[in-house]
Amino acid sequence: MTQPRIEFRNVSKSFGRNHVLRGIDLSINKGESMVIIGGSGTGKSVLLKCALGLLNPDEGQILIDGRPGSEGSRDAFFARFGMLFQGGALFDSMTVWQNVAFRLLRGKLKRPRDEARAIAIEKLRRVGLKEWVADLYPAELSGGMQKRVGLARAIAAEPEIIFFDEPTTGLDPIMSGVINQLIRDIVTEMGATAMTITHDMSSVRAIADYVAMIHDGKVRWSGPVENMDESGDPYLDQFINARAEGPIEAVR
């Protein structure tokens, strides 16, 4: 049996009396693209932040290549990750290219400024943005362009594991399709392991190899994306078919 690249073992997390995660068990193998779905407030983002070490789980373990993420140097840990945040999380005070090349301008991966800029422009091209965008500030970009810049920043240091948090939220259907296609292509090209959280079903079908649905703080269903429509699980059926009636209460 192969060692999973990311493994969640009985992960629980509460905020006061709000028990967001109640024992998540999930494995993602190397090179796989796992999409986590679930309604708003079901703890998808919390799970992702726990995996990144931005939040500490109350119970359970998160293993990266069989070892707890908290072991060893934080820099070495984060050097393996790329992350696309929901709102882009671009640094307002920096130009687009400085955002993309952030890791390459400081720390252990530091390179000469010209070289870092050239790499940033190449990554921007990879996500469909032209060179003139490089010297703009994030506030001068549209929402779709900001997502692309965020994507370019996530892949700039060629990470082994990439997390995508709601990559298509707030975008029109065409731009959503473009971003989904870019994510799929980049993950395949780089051979990276990807974990995406979303409630956009078009993203799920475009990006996922495997799908896991979180409900009530636990993994309700998981399996290959092609089995999703015939799962027979009433919760998953209600969610993927966007039905108001079903076991998931509309008002939570």
Partner 1 sequence: MTLVSALLAPIGHSTLSMLAAVGRIAIFMARTLSHMLRPPFYGRELLRQLLYIGYFSLPVVGLTAVFTGAALALQIFEGGSRFNAESVVPSIVAIGMVRELGPVLGGLMVAGRVASSIAAELGTMKVTEQIDALVTLSTNPMKYLAVPRVLAATLAMPVLVAVGDAIGIMGGWLVGITKLGLNSAAYMQNTVDFLVSWDVTSGLIKAAVFGFLLALMGCYHGINSGRGAQGVGKATTNAVVSASVLILTANYILTTLFFST
Q: Kindly list the residues in this chain that would bind partner 1 in the complex (CB under 8 A).
A: 49, 52-54, 74-75, 78-79, 81-83, 85-87, 89-92, 102-103, 106-108, 153
Q: 3-class SS at 244? A: coil
Quote the CA–CA distance of 217 and 96 in Å, as a whole number. 37
Nearer to partner 1, 72 or 107 (CB): 107
φ and ψ of 5, to 5 deg: -70, -45
Closest CB 46 distance from partner 1, rounded Å? 12
Nearer to partner 1, 165 or 209 (CB): 165
Closest CB 87 distance from partner 1, rounded Å? 6
Nearer to partner 1, 77 or 205 (CB): 77
Q: 3-class SS at 144? A: helix
Nearer to partner 1, 92 or 245 (CB): 92
Q: 3-class SS at 71? A: coil
Structure tokens at 6: 């990311």
Closest CB 157 distance from partner 1, rounded Å? 8
Quote the CA–CA distance of 128 and 130 in Å, as a whole number. 7
What is the sign, positive or negative, of the torsion defined by CA atoms of 226, 128, 199, 31?
A: positive
Q: Work out whether strand 59-64 and strand 67-68 pair parallel, antiparallel, or are unpaired.
A: antiparallel
Containing 33, the helix (H) or strand (E) segment is: strand 33-37
Nearer to partner 1, 106 or 243 (CB): 106
Closest CB 1 distance from partner 1, rounded Å? 30
Beta strands in 150-200 (DSSP E): 161-165, 193-197
Closest CB 83 distance from partner 1, rounded Å? 4
Q: What is the DSSP string of 49-82?
A: HHHHTSS--SEEEEEETTEETTSS-HHHHHHTEE
Nearer to partner 1, 44 or 49 (CB): 49
**Single-letter amino acid code for the residue at 120:** A
Closest CB 115 distance from partner 1, rounded Å? 17
